[in-house]
Structure 1
Amino acid sequence: MFKPTKLAVLLSSAVALAACGEKEVELKTEQDKVSYGIGYNVGSGMRQEGLEEMNVEAIALGLQDSLADKERRLTMEELTAAFNEVRARQQDKQKAVNDENARAGKEFLEQNAERDNITTLDSGLQYEVLKSGEEGASSPGISDMVTTHYHGTLVDGTVFDSSVDRGQPATFPVGGVIKGWIEALQLMKVGDKWKLYVPADLAYGAQSPSPKIPPNSALVFEVELLSIKNEDS
């Protein structure tokens, strides 16, 4: 029995978007506006899935046949085979992208490790000290809360998150962040500002938390440790 996948749902839903084609549509009524919103969201989902090249005319034909309660023009076996083929292509394409991201990150870290001011830990995490805090300042433990300012970029310099840009420091538990941060924070002291170079396996790996961070990306952070709140304080 054919079971709709995420890809199948996107394709079947997209008929509403495709039916409009290039026709000028007035968005006056609430129904018009909601219909447009549904179509736009479906289109966004298709784009994220890499389905921009789907046949718009075929999508519209499927919509028309469905609304008219006509018999499908393709058997379930044909549809299943087609969906599986497209899904396999998308997976191969995504794997190639992921592999390229991993390669780029590895090359960046290998070159970066050769710089004199870079410290590379056994885990693969790299850091450089931009500013040191006061002598005798404390370091946080894994159960502590910390307040930091940070600026996060991809290895090509693209910014994906920055408390500095927002003008608002971030407070969070040391044990609640990515592995690279957990390791670095416990080595830092209040007042320290470090630049972290985090391998993909110490960041988010293949599971990207945001479209701004491609899977298997090495990440770069400038982190300033502003304060620590101990668990018992």
Structure 2
Amino acid sequence: MKQHRLAAAVALVSLVLAGCDSQTSVELKTPAQKASYGIGLNMGKSLAQEGMDDLDSKAVAQGIEDAVGKKEQKLKDDELIEAFAALQKRAEERLTKMSEEASTAGKKFLEENGKKAGVVTTASGLQYEVIKKADGPQPKATDVVTVHYEGKLIDGKVFDSSVERGSPIDLPVSGVIPGWVEGLQLMHVGEKYKLYIPSELAYGAQSPSPSIPANSVLVFDLELLGIKDPAKQEADAAQ
């Protein structure tokens, strides 16, 4: 987390908190009021995910009040810089801990999962299980496919789902994470697989979002619905 990102997040949340405390009712009637609440709600969720759930709302409101009222700030700039640095360090330590825990848990999970009946482990380390067999064609790396999927962490927490959205997606086989690139080319149209993807075949040491810690093993329920016709793709693109 960068210092400016943290400062911006605090400022956004303070737009909602400024001038009110936990006992003050807030009207949510006008578009501006509703948007203000939405900003606070979304940023609050984001900050909580990053371990920033102990912000003092009254102190935030005081900062906004002093700035808007052009009052003398109660803390010097070097004190603020020191405080932001401390929060940034705490956030980095939290992410490091989560990454280490995810790596350890992921290795243990794959080791045990690979022993289960029906689970196949490939040379790359990808594990898969055929949930529903079919005899349709298999996609190539150059194809675009239509799929339905649901992605989970090994604790069962869903982080993304086209099923929940109620809409399958089209994607290039070669344009996704390595575990999907390999898994899709094993499948036949009409089949459903469960993929168990080691972190090195997913996002590795990077965290693509707060909902997916670095070094996470990812579990996908994946259904291959179809392979797009290249001629039709070119015709659509030309329109």
- Relative to the length of structure 2, the TM-score reads 0.80
Instruction: Give the residue type in structure 2 aligned to 1:122.
Output: A
* CA distance 1:142–1:16, change in 2 (3 Å): same
The equivalent residue for 1:21 is 21
1:58-207 equivalent positions in 2, closer than 5 A = 58-134=59-135, 138-164=137-163, 168-207=167-206
Structure 1 residue 76: Cα displacement: 1.6
Structure 1 residue 176: Cα displacement: 2.0
Structure 1 residue 81: Cα displacement: 1.1
Structure 1 residue 57: Cα displacement: 2.8
Write 1 or 2 for the structure with the bigger share of helix.
Answer: 2
What is the alpha-carbon distance in structure 2 between the residues aligned to residue 35 and residue 159 of structure 1?
A: 28
* CA distance 1:161–1:57, change in 2 (3 Å): closer
* CA distance 1:46–1:220, change in 2 (3 Å): closer
Unaligned runs of 5+ in 1: none
SS of the residue corresponding to residue 14 of structure 1 reads helix
Instruction: Give the residue type in structure 1 aligned to 2:220.
Output: F
SS of the residue corresponding to residue 148 of structure 1 reads strand
Cα-to-partner distance string for 1:74-102 (whole Å, 9 max, x where unaligned):
22211111110111011101221222122
* CA distance 1:69–1:185, change in 2 (3 Å): same
Structure 1 residue 196: Cα displacement: 1.3
What is the alpha-carbon distance in structure 2 between the residues aligned to residue 48 and residue 75 of structure 1?
A: 29
SS of the residue corresponding to residue 5 of structure 1 reads helix
The equivalent residue for 1:220 is 219
* More off after superposition, 10-19 vs 53-62: 10-19
Instruction: Give the residue type in structure 1 aligned to 2:79.
Output: E
RMSD of aligned Cα (Å) = 2.8
Instruction: Give the residue type in structure 1 aligned to 2:129.
Output: E
What is the alpha-carbon distance in structure 1 between the residues aligned to residue 90 and residue 227 of structure 2?
A: 49
SS of the residue corresponding to residue 186 of structure 1 reads helix
Instruction: Give the residue type in structure 1 aligned to 2:221.
Output: E
Answer yes or no: is the 8 Å Cα contact 2:3–2:84 preserved in 1. Answer: no
Cα-to-partner distance string for 1:29-70 (whole Å, 9 max, x where unaligned):
555444444444443443343222122332232222222212
Structure 1 residue 21: Cα displacement: 1.0
What is the alpha-carbon distance in structure 2 between the residues aligned to residue 106 and residue 177 of structure 1?
A: 22
What is the alpha-carbon distance in structure 2 between the residues aligned to residue 5 and residue 25 of structure 1?
A: 29
Answer yes or no: is the 8 Å Cα contact 1:143–1:231 preserved in 2. Answer: no
SS of the residue corresponding to residue 186 of structure 2 reads coil
Answer yes or no: is the 8 Å Cα contact 1:140–1:230 preserved in 2. Answer: no
Cα-to-partner distance string for 1:160-192 (whole Å, 9 max, x where unaligned):
344445554433221122210101122223344
Instruction: Give the residue type in structure 2 aligned to 1:76.
Output: D
SS of the residue corresponding to residue 91 of structure 1 reads helix
Unaligned runs of 5+ in 2: 233-239
The equivalent residue for 1:46 is 47
The equivalent residue for 1:57 is 58
* CA distance 1:138–1:6, change in 2 (3 Å): same
Instruction: Give the residue type in structure 1 aligned to 2:70.
Output: D
- Relative to the length of structure 1, the TM-score reads 0.82
* More off after superposition, 32-41 vs 9-18: 32-41
Answer yes or no: is the 8 Å Cα contact 2:192–2:224 preserved in 1. Answer: yes
Answer yes or no: is the 8 Å Cα contact 2:113–2:119 preserved in 1. Answer: yes
